Amino acid sequence: MEMQRKRAVLFVLMFLMFTAACAAPSKYYRSSLGDKLHPGMNQEAVKKELGEPAGFHRRQMSPDDLREIWVYAVQDRDLLKNHLYPKRHLIVFSNGVMLAKDPHNPYAPRNQF
């Protein structure tokens, strides 16, 4: 009898942990990138609109061009998709100022944006 009770308690605890983990909001999933983003915005304004990025890459392109690419994973809430493979979006900054979102080549020269 005691063993059955331990199993039942263990099952309930595992169920609660699983459902809590699934219900927790994630900063990596956004419904959209936002239509309010435009070139010329600073990093703080983008962060205010989208939150923290899922990741970023930084590269010194030239002495006067420090390029930062922020990566966001976006889940389209209108379609049933595999949540393990969200769509990725890139926001490109040069010296803290947004150049483009989802460019073909994020490391292209500034005059090509």
Q: Domain limits at 60?
A: 27-112
Percent of the chain with pLDDT over 90: 40
Half-sphere exposure of 46 (CA within 13 A, CB side): 25
Q: What's 98's domain CATH number? A: 3.30.1450.10
CA angle 80-20-8, nearest 5°? 115
Asked if the model's pLDDT at residue 88 lies above 90, the reply is: no
Residues 6+ apart with CB under 8 A from 35: none
**Residue 74 or 27, more confident:** 74
| Whether the predicted model's global pTM rises above the 0.75 cut | no
Number of domains in the chain: 1
Of 95, 94, 90, residue with least CA distance to 105: 90
Of 88, 92, 96, residue with least CA distance to 44: 96
Q: Is residue 47 part of a domain?
A: yes
